């Protein structure tokens, strides 16, 4: 009985990693037991964790994790049929993350062991229309692995909101677009710009006749971009078409007639050669297709996006400045796809630096200098309440999050209540 109890407690391990030391246990229950956790790097990049009680250690080997971002534009009319089989598989093999299915294809970012991720990708590509996924693989730090492996589906206290990747929670959503542009007539399956490999990117954007455009949003460009890039200062990708029309004076599929020397000579104004980039390449596919439909003749985009560039191009040769925002709890990455320095404001989901967190407008879990003035006091009070729940129980909603309340069920007068989700997770997309 004692051994079974110890095994049960160990299964609900919760930890917050610190470099080179023990992992302090957050759960009140586990703190009382005297457990400690010590991650150890072992051969092949895997992780061992010692779980000790009363001086007795038991080591278990843990496989390394990977994060894979992927997408594919395709004519996918029956996209809804894939949702449940895909979600079931992800849960079965302990995959976390987010996946979007739409009539125009698939877009996702998932985390798990190499074997589990491979099973999911093979399942997706078993549909001939989705073969040839465009993918970028990123490493996961030993600290993140410790948190991931310490979480169990039986305990919402297991990892709390600190977990970058939680295998008990994956979102598979159905949407109109795999990346929201607001114009379903733009079809990357029909035409896109010219792909440029990361190794050839520096040469292209160093050409003075090239207009380099960052297709991402303000909160992304704020922490890093390519040298000399034009920032459209958009709050969302939906604003990009309007920015293009205003910036380059295009209307419909024809160029507006403007009073230029070329116009007075009877020639239409020339649109520039354009190079564009985004995080992983997906937004550029839509943006380049849109520009081509507006009369642009030469449109280039970085294949694999910033992530592939940071992976392939040595820092000593790089024209990238700053860090790259990513849509998961890593928040940002640097060259070599190493973990960046930025944290996330849970009030507005924007990246914040150490300097931002020194501001009087910063309040952990509530607001930051970028959203302080836009939030009402009621919104801030609600955020404080959520943060208190998270700090107390390790999960928003309290210790019974995701568990059916038997007393409440008896008062439901025969109504069947749906179980609450057993965890929360910052969306990766």
Query: What is the predicted pLDDT for the residue at 385?
Result: 92
Instruction: Name the pLDDT band for 419 (thresholds 50, 70, 90).
Output: very low
Instruction: Name the pLDDT band for 76 (thresholds 50, 70, 90).
Output: very high
The stretches of 105-197 forming alpha helices (DSSP H) are 114-124, 142-149
Residues designated as active site: 278
Distances (CA, A) of 154 to 91, 151, 252, 399: 13, 9, 55, 12
Q: Which residue has the higher pLDDT, 354 or 396?
A: 354
Pairwise CA distance, residues 32 & 390, whole Å: 19
- Please name the helix (run of DSSP H) or strand (run of DSSP E) that holds residue 138, with its range, or none: strand 134-139
Q: Is 199 helix (H, G, I), strand (E, B) or coil?
A: helix
The stretches of 206-239 forming alpha helices (DSSP H) are 218-221
In this prediction the pTM is 0.70
Query: What is the predicted pLDDT for the residue at 71?
Result: 94
Pairwise CA distance, residues 299 & 17, whole Å: 45
Query: What is the predicted pLDDT for the residue at 251?
Result: 66
Query: What is the predicted pLDDT for the residue at 292?
Result: 96
Query: What is the predicted pLDDT for the residue at 353?
Result: 96
What does 364-393 look like in DSSP terms, one character per residue?
TTTB-TTTGGGS-HHHHHHHHHHHHHHHHH
The strand pairing partners of 195, in sequence order, are 301
pLDDT digits (tens, 9 = 90+) for 102-124: 999 999 989 888 999 999 999 99
pLDDT digits (tens, 9 = 90+) for 175-184: 999 999 988 8
Domains of the chain as residue ranges with CATH:
2-62 (no CATH), 65-174 (3.30.70.100), 194-321 (3.40.250.10)
Of 118, 99, 95, 120, nearest to 108 by C-alpha is 99
Burial class of residue 297 in the structure, from the number of CB atoms within 10 Å of its CB (0-12 exposed, 13-18 middle, 19+ buried): exposed
Asked if residues 198 and 305 have their Cβ atoms less than 8 Å apart, the reply is no
């Amino acid at each position: 009985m004692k051994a079974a109890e110890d095994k049960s407690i160990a299964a609900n391990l919760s930890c917050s990693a610190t470099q080179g030391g023990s992992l302090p246990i957050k759960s009140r229950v586990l703190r009382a037991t005297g457990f400690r956790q010590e991650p150890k790097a072992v051969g092949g990049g895997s992780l061992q964790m010692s779980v000790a009680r009363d001086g007795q250690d038991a080591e278990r080997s843990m496989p390394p994790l990977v994060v894979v971002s992927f997408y594919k534009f395709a004519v996918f009319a029956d996209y809804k049929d894939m949702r449940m089989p895909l979600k079931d598989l992800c849960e079965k093999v302990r995959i976390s993350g987010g996946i979007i299915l739409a009539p125009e294809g698939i877009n996702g970012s998932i985390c798990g062991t190499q074997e589990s991720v491979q099973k999911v990708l093979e399942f997706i590509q078993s549909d001939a229309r989705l073969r040839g996924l465009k993918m970028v693989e990123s490493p996961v730090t030993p600290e993140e692995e410790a948190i991931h492996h310490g979480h169990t589906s039986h305990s919402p206290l297991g990892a709390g909101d600190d977990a970058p990747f939680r295998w008990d929670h994956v979102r598979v959503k159905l949407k109109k677009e795999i990346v929201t542009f607001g114009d379903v007539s733009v079809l990357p399956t029909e035409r896109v710009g010219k792909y440029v490999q990361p190794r050839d990117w520096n040469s292209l954007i160093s050409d003075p006749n090239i207009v380099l455009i960052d297709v991402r949003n303000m909160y992304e460009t704020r922490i890093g971009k390519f040298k000399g890039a034009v920032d459209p200062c958009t709050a969302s990708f939906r604003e990009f078409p309007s920015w293009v029309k205003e910036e380059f004076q295009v209307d419909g599929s024809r160029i507006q007639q403007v009073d230029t020397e070329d116009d007075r000579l009877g020639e239409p104004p020339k649109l520039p050669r354009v190079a564009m980039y985004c995080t992983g390449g997906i937004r550029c596919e839509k943006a380049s297709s849109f520009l081509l439909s507006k009369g642009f003749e030469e449109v280039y985009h970085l294949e694999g996006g910033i992530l592939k560039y940071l992976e392939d191009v040595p820092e000593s040769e790089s024209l990238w400045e700053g860090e790259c925002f990513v849509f998961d709890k890593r928040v940002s990455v640097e060259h070599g796809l190493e973990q960046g320095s930025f944290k996330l404001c849970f009030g507005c989901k924007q990246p914040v630096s150490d300097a931002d967190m020194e501001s009087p407008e910063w309040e952990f879990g509530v607001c930051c200098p970028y959203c302080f003035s836009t939030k009402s006091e009621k919104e801030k009070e609600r955020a404080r309440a959520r943060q208190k729940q998270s700090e107390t129980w390790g999960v928003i909603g309290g210790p019974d999050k995701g568990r059916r309340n038997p007393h409440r069920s008896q008062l439901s007068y025969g109504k069947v209540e749906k179980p609450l989700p057993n965890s929360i997770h910052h969306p990766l997309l």
